[in-house]
Amino acid sequence: CPFMCSFCSNPVWGKKTRFRSPESVLSEIEWLQKKFGVREIFFVDDTFNLNRKWFETICHGIILRGLNKKSIFKSPFRANQKLIDKDLLNLAKQAGFWMIFFGVESGNQRILDEVNKNMDIKEIERAFRLTKKTGLRTYASFIIGHLSDTKDSIGDTISFVKKIDPDFFGFAIAMPWPGSEMY
């Protein structure tokens, strides 16, 4: 992930983002289906929608090879307005994605700014609205205990969960990973 959220361990790995070739990803999906009968795949990628052309190539390949007839998919997406739109979500749905995971982190704009999330509350609301409208399920991940979290900012986060109404959500405790700004 090229973003530099203060709580993340990514500084340990650097800012450079590497992408496997779409052919490699598609071949691995086929292999998992044939060898193990895998019926669900979670793409563990911080920002699977970061490179639109790459993501679209994978989705089109899934559809063309019929991989979406044997497996369903879920993946993390960034909610930034420039990275997510109706067409991208519709393509994901056609390719067999059933859920999009969003690292929301907080429902308080001050906290989002302080942790360098590079996103605003309105972008997050929009991403959830579009994703649900497409018929995809949503997962919202939150972190409680940021360095300047208060009772009020945590209350804002709880209220925000109710507002965006994700299908699934989870809370984690802020962890100062070595190499992160928080650490």
146 alpha-carbon distance from chain centroid: 20
CB 58 within 8 A of CB 25: yes
Do you know the residue count of the chain? 183
Which pLDDT score, from 0 to 100, does residue 11 have?
62
Contacts of 55 (CB under 8 A, 6+ apart): 48, 49, 88
Which pLDDT score, from 0 to 100, does residue 160 have?
98
Which pLDDT score, from 0 to 100, does residue 13 have?
66
Which pLDDT score, from 0 to 100, does residue 55 have?
97
Count of other CB atoms within 10 angstroms of residue 169:
15
Strand partners, 170: 141
Q: Is 170 exposed, middle or buried (0-12, 13-18, 19+ CB in 10 A)?
A: exposed
CB 148 within 8 A of CB 177: no
CA distance 14 to 2: 8
Which pLDDT score, from 0 to 100, does residue 12 have?
63
CB 79 within 8 A of CB 104: yes
> Which residue carries 């900012």 as its tokens?
153
CA distance 57 to 142: 30
Which pLDDT score, from 0 to 100, does residue 40 have?
98
Per DSSP, the three-state class of 147 is coil
pLDDT tens digits, residue range 8-62? 776 666 667 888 999 999 999 999 999 999 999 999 888 899 999 999 999 999 9
Which pLDDT score, from 0 to 100, does residue 159 have?
98
Locate 67 and state its tokens.
């991989």
pLDDT tens digits, residue range 99-126? 999 999 999 999 999 998 999 999 999 9
CA distance 112 to 109: 5
Least confident range from 29-33, 79-83, 173-177: namely 173-177
